[in-house]
Structure 1
Amino acid sequence: MPAPSLAPVPAAAPATIAMLLADSRLPAGAHVSSNALEAALRDGLRRDEVGAYLASRQVTVTRVEAGTAVLARHLALTCAPEELAPALAALEAEWAARTPGRAQREITRVLGDGLRRLADVLWPGAIPPVAAGAPPRPRPVVLGLVAAAAGLPAPELVRLVAYDDAQTVVAALLKLEPGDPRAGAALVLEACAAMEPLVGPLAALQDPVLLPSAGAPQTEDWAEAQSALPRRLFRA
């Protein structure tokens, strides 16, 4: 579906951009994901262990995605137009090498395409088209390109990725095992605090080869299990 023709979107402060992109009501399709929490709960993860699950994600999966987003932003700001597409392809290869699970790669590309459709309206031209027959760009790459177009600084981009991952899990938790939403908010803040020591090093990344590699076999197993559930509330 082609992007609707709208008036140019006025420039906004970086803090406003961060709040917009962090809003779970953003029409980008993120509501379909629980970040594999649904499968984890079915496999025996207790509600009181969700905080540990969030913390482990922050230093593994989320760390890789935050680094990928920062690198995409850097490439968008520094590459000549004719260099950007191959540079992004190389970055995506590094991301894929650090995201071995098929299910995780698939849902990240689905979510990336949802964000790309929104970006085509709000920041036209920010997301270069993929080659014919190529899969959609992964969400952290799209997010980094949006950050470059919208003027979001690298440290705030890292924090945005951290917050987005945590709030996705907690929002799913409140649907799968309803409880006190105030406790959920506390879990999100705790998870973001776990990422804070990594914000500086991640924000300074400029070489895709130096993208962190942090395996999370249990998370990958749950993501694969989630994709195979015959009856499920969330796609991922």
Structure 2
Amino acid sequence: MTATASTTLAMLLADSRLPAGAHVSSGALEAALRDGLDPAATGDYLAGRMATIVPVEAGTAVVARRLARHGGDLEGLRREWAARTPSSAQREVSYALGDGLQRLADQLWPAAMSPGAARRPRPIVLGLIAAAAGLGAEDLVRLVAYDDAQTVAAALLKLEPGDPRQATALVLAACAHLEPRVAEIAALTDPTRIPCAGAPLIDGWAESQSQMPRRLFRA
């Protein structure tokens, strides 16, 4: 692969048409709505994710990018991520999404992945791709935030059909919530310093969704 601008890479990896299987996730919104969350409160739901889950995911991706470039303990990073992701359902879907990204990387950025490497969660795979492809740290943080918000907004339109323009506005507002922290998260180098704010209600919804006999989304 020839050199590609970081912004172009971020747009590519954020594209919902990317063949990496991201369509299987709703960010636990499906269970939240079934549990009584008002669809009109989806903006608050996204803001909550930006304060809790997204900094963990983005921080993990940033540190993985650094470790891939400078050497370090990816298994130790995986344990730090897992400790900050207590929901087994969320961990499982992250591994599934990581598998999809890894298959893509095998074709586009084969140097990103070690042959025969163990399965890795999505944020670590993203970080390895970022290192191999030349995606900058701040672009990586914004990519994680955008992807999380877009996942929920796209699911909302399937679960509670409405105006796609309003869903797009939710994505922009959600990303704006994280923007003041982009530089801080992008500067992370130590796995133990990755943010660790919990989201027990979202964790519970993720677990509930994993047990639903009839559902549109895996998680």
Regarding TM over 0.5, the answer is yes
**Contact 1:34–1:168 (Cα < 8 Å) also in 2:** yes
Any unmatched runs of 5+ in structure 2? none
In 2, Cα distance between equivalents of 1:145 and 1:214: 24
Aligned to 1:231: 214
> Secondary structure of 1:28's partner?
coil
Aligned-residue RMSD, C-alpha: 1.0
Aligned to 1:120: 106
Q: How does 1:79-118 map to 2 (within 5 A)?
A: 79=71, 84=72, 87-118=73-104
In 1, Cα distance between equivalents of 2:92 and 2:111: 24
In 2, Cα distance between equivalents of 1:47 and 1:93: 34
Q: Does 1:60 align with 2:52?
A: yes
1:189 alignment partner, one of 172, 178, 181 = 172
In 2, Cα distance between equivalents of 1:59 and 1:156: 18
Aligned to 1:73: 65
Report the TM-score, using the length of structure 2 for normalisation. 0.98
In 2, Cα distance between equivalents of 1:32 and 1:69: 21
The structural deviation recorded for 1:197 is 1.0
Segments ≥4 residues shifted beyond 3 Å: none
Q: Does 1:28 align with 2:14?
A: no
**Contact 1:130–1:137 (Cα < 8 Å) also in 2:** no
Aligned to 2:6: 14
Q: How does 1:146-165 map to 2 (within 5 A)?
A: 146-165=129-148
* Cα 1:12/1:37, change in 2 over 3 Å: same
The structural deviation recorded for 1:10 is 2.5
Max radius of gyration: which structure? Answer: 1
The structural deviation recorded for 1:75 is 0.4
Which digits, 9 at most, give the CA deviation of each residue in 1:78-114, with x for residues without a partner?
11xxxx5xx1000000000010110011000110011
The structural deviation recorded for 1:130 is 5.3
In 1, Cα distance between equivalents of 2:2 and 2:137: 21
> What letter corresponds to residue 196 of structure 2 in structure 1?
S
The structural deviation recorded for 1:11 is 2.2
User: In percent, how many aligned pairs have the same letter?
Assistant: 68
**Contact 1:60–1:215 (Cα < 8 Å) also in 2:** yes
In 2, Cα distance between equivalents of 1:103 and 1:129: 27
The structural deviation recorded for 1:200 is 1.0
Give the paired residue count.
219
> Secondary structure of 1:125's partner?
helix
